[in-house]
């Protein structure tokens, strides 16, 4: 059987393995090495946890060979396969997203800071946390001083502010973080976009000391620099954070189970295709990246973390006419957003 090299995108990391003639076919040892799961008589197992595998003939098409196309969904994970680029993109478990959207337990993540160190959600336990997602393809990248000021004001009262950029590399984000001391992380694989069902930036999530999401996805800004354009003043949301920290005040609408809609299958697939395009861009295969980016956009055309995020990675201006056309289409569609409506105060 001919072996070629396939790339597996798993939990924000890329791994290569010699496939068994098709990108979805992997040797049993490589599968265990890369995923931590192995196939036993009792099922697909990781430690003491096992998942039944009823169709062994599909799971093991030949001795020592496993079919990822069949096995990965058994782990409660979605996948897409770019057979031309020989890349498999695997998503997070649906349970992790249900934890965020329904049970309101903040899904764990580990992301790089601008200095290269890794930071995890667990390191933030014990304090109130405001998680701010932004990007350099959005004007909200200029809001970091506003979030820094909020941290300076409320830090002694128990508040953490953590900013996460949906960007490919630290060097792109660093100029906007000069003089900023709050943690600034970056998420090249858009893991949080999938885990927390984030469809636009800036999106802000409030997490309490125990790791419970007490206010899910809300569009909010740290300054009023572009308020005339987007129409969302920063003051009402910043005041709501102050009331939460100082008085424990929460918006009752934030507790509603339907506050953040689940991602559709197309939106999930769009994130996985975007991940393939982003990987190809990072490794210098830009001529191959255009196709998965376009597939992602076609699946989620009004999702800014997909459609707008791909613009700078394909040589297009995320602040130019194409963005304005996308923005007008988004407004015309009713400003779709996975989360609460923005705080507008009395304006």
Q: What is the pLDDT of residue 347?
A: 45
The tens digit of pLDDT for each residue in 83-130 reads 999 999 999 999 999 999 999 999 989 999 999 999 998 887 789 999
* Cα–Cα distances in angstroms (integers) from residue 75 to residues 3, 104, 222, in the given order: 25, 22, 39
Quote the pTM value: 0.94
User: Has residue 257 got a pLDDT over 80?
Assistant: no
* Cα–Cα distances in angstroms (integers) from residue 263 to residues 124, 134, 253, 337, in the given order: 26, 19, 20, 11
Q: What is the pLDDT of residue 346?
A: 63
> Rounded to an integer, what is the distance from CA 240 to the centroid of its chain?
25
CATH number for the domain formed by residue range(s) 94-258: 3.40.30.10
- Is omega for the bond preceding 202 within 30 degrees of 0, making it cis? yes
Q: What are phi and psi of 185, to 5 degrees?
A: -110, 170
Domain boundaries, the chain: 5-90, 94-258, 265-332
The tens digit of pLDDT for each residue in 266-318 reads 999 999 999 999 999 999 999 999 999 999 999 999 999 999 999 999 999 99
d(CA 318, CA 315): 9
User: Has residue 135 got a pLDDT over 90?
Assistant: yes
The tens digit of pLDDT for each residue in 164-217 reads 999 999 999 999 999 999 999 999 999 999 999 999 999 999 999 999 999 999
């Amino acid at each position: 059987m001919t072996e070629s090299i396939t790339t597996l995108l798993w939990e924000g990391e890329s791994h290569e393995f010699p496939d068994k003639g098709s990108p979805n076919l992997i040797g049993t040892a490589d599968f265990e090495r890369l995923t931590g799961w192995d196939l036993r008589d009792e099922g697909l197992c990781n430690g003491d946890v096992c998942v039944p595998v009823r169709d062994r003939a599909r799971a093991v098409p030949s001795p020592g060979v496993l079919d990822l196309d069949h096995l990965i969904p058994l782990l409660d994970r979605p996948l897409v396969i770019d057979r031309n680029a020989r890349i498999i993109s695997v998503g997070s478990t649906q349970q992790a997203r249900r934890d965020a959207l329904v049970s309101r337990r903040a899904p764990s993540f580990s992301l790089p800071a601008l200095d290269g160190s890794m930071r995890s959600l667990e390191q933030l336990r014990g304090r109130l946390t405001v998680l701010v997602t932004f990007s350099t393809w959005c004007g909200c990248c200029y809001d970091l001083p506003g979030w820094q000021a909020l941290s300076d004001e409320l830090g002694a009262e128990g508040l953490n502010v953590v900013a996460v950029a949906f960007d490919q590399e630290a060097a792109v984000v660093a100029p906007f973080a000069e003089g900023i001391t709050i943690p600034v992380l970056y998420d090249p694989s858009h893991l949080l976009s999938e885990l927390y069902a984030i469809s636009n930036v800036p999106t802000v999530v409030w997490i309490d000391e125990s790791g419970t999401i007490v206010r899910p996805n809300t569009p909010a800004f740290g300054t009023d620099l572009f308020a005339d354009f987007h129409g969302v003043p920063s003051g009402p949301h910043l005041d709501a954070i102050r009331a939460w920290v100082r008085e424990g005040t929460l918006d009752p609408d934030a507790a509603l189970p339907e506050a953040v809609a689940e991602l559709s299958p197309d939106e999930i697939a769009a994130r996985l295709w975007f991940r393939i395009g982003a990987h190809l861009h990072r490794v210098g295969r830009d001529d191959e990246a255009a196709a998965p980016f376009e597939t992602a956009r076609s699946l989620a055309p009004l999702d800014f973390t997909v459609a707008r995020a791909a613009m700078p990675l394909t040589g297009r201006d995320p602040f130019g006419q194409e963005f304005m056309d996308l923005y007008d289409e988004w407004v015309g569609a009713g400003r779709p957003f996975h989360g609460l409506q923005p705080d507008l105060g009395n304006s």
